[in-house]
Structure 1
Amino acid sequence: MNTNTIQWKNGLKDGIPICLGYFAVSFTFGIMASGAGLSPWQAVIMSFTNLTSAGQFAALGIIAAKAPFMEMAVAQFIINLRYCLMSCSLSQKLDEKTPFFHRFLIGYGVTDEIFGVSVCRPGRLSPFFSYGLIAVAVPGWTLGTLLGAVSGDFLPPRILSALNVALYGMFLAVIIPPAKGNRILSGVIVVSMVCSLIFAATPVLNTISSGFKIIILTLLIAGAAAYLFPVKETGEEQHE
């Protein structure tokens, strides 16, 4: 059997857990998108072209506030800047002779979960393995969005309210594991929550749109943490 086909099938198999997780989270996004006034197809197009839960949920608040396009662009740039770093890291696992169009297509599907699976794969990363991950993960995210957006029209309000809690459960699942045993990261999370509360409760600050709140808090807190607590390279990394 062709090596590329084997790599693609391996990607499909490893992408199934990602697909299932994406389906559950994007279902909630679809419900919230419908509540924000987006049509099911608008929500689906957003999910298919963005593939970023944090960016998409932030976008809903910006859309609901009828903020200008520039605010949306800057907020998305700040929120999704981490994908540039992930893409640079993955590019080091690709063969030097990998054509640009493979790199371009892989870049489309770089998400936190796909990056995690790809970077932990031993040896060189095959573009077809990435295609396998993308081929099963993206439909899970998009289909979940579609079903959530459509279901929002006929599900009882109590069920919709319960499903909306899934969003916060997802964010807790993202921040709690890496924060365990890391006092700096735990402190950054607590400071972020306190600052967000201050912005929401203070009379002057609560007039700032959601998009600019994200931009300001991200730059201030992340910038301060990077300056005060820089990540130190290990001896092996310094040697290289």
Structure 2
Amino acid sequence: MFLKRITFLREDVQDYHEYPFSIPSISNLHHLDIDNKVTFFVGENGSGKSTLLEAIADKCEFNTAGGSRNNSYDVHAAGSALGDYIRLSWMPKITNGFFLRAESFYHFVSHIDEVDLTGFRDYGGRSLHEQSHGESFLSLFLNRFKGSAIYLLDEPEAALSPQRQLSFLRIIHDLTESGDCQFIIATHSPILLGYPGATILSFDDGRIAEVNYEETDHYRITKYFLQHREKFLKDILEE
């Protein structure tokens, strides 16, 4: 465990009507304790989970378009509006890690193509552009992710099939058990959320609160759909 607490510097905010302070889960935040090697952020679109994850990446000095401290490139609208308003508490402080931002991953891959001089050693031995979207994500996880680091992942399931999401769960397990790694993951995937023993923090209902797996909409809606598919589709398509 490395990152222990996230504190919102409320006294520095001038106007809570402005984004991102207008997001209820952010405006109601005081501090957030992290006490698990694997923590999930869940919530509806716009609930603030990616905004907070991006701010953490900014305070870690990772590239907020995706990457680590060593990846310098620019992507439009990839900055963090919240980064200057949080404080991170560490034990111990680390600088190794990576921020995966699924929506700008293409730009990260192009950056690596331009600067890599090692024959893509950290990415499976060939350009990530020469691999499928899902293959490139797994190559990153398998080859780039190593011990004593914090990994901040925003919707890593975006490129992964259900089978490869299960493979990713094994990667998380191996890294946290033997590699001394910490993960904070914003996700909509009921498969990833099923990782045993993880902490799940919901950003819904205007606050950030820990919930059980079975309490998440991701689990409940998916379960109901699979058990009552015909009725579910009839209800939403014929109303």
Query: Could you state the TM-score of these two structures normalised by the residue count of structure 2?
Result: 0.22
Query: Could you state the TM-score of these two structures normalised by the residue count of structure 1?
Result: 0.22
Work out which structure has the larger RCO, using CA pairs closer than 8 Å and 6 or more positions apart in sequence.
1
Q: Name the one with the larger helix percent.
A: 1
